Structure 1
Amino acid sequence: MSKSKGARITITLECSCRNSYNNKRSPGIFRYSSTKNRRNTPNRIEIKKFCPKCNRHETFKEIK
């Protein structure tokens, strides 16, 4: 029998600067992948991380 997956799931974080046209570098969408505990944080996560597309720290929001 296989074990259950548990409470930890893999999520994708997407930069909020994707709609901005003032990008200093090449246009596009940058994404991080991470994990979260479904029981501790049932809501969507927002984390400030570095975006290499716009060359600064931006808010990354959880997508599906």
Structure 2
Amino acid sequence: MYEFDIQNMTCGHCASTVEKAIKAADPEASATIDLTARTARVQSKLEPAAIKAAVEKAGYPSSFKHI
């Protein structure tokens, strides 16, 4: 499981976009988005850098921490 701090995520549409970006990178990923904390917890077989790249490509700078 990985946790990402997501910058610029301020509304439900943003959270949905982040979740869609994660799912596009790994359709089997499980993602829990916390809009208030501006975090995404992701269970994926992909390396965290691949998830981070997908989120950033969607327009949301992020930083990763392993849980």
TM-score (norm 2): 0.32
Q: Larger relative contact order (C-alpha < 8 A, sep ≥ 6)? A: 2
Q: Rg: which structure is higher? A: 1
Identify, as 1 or 2, the structure richer in strand.
1
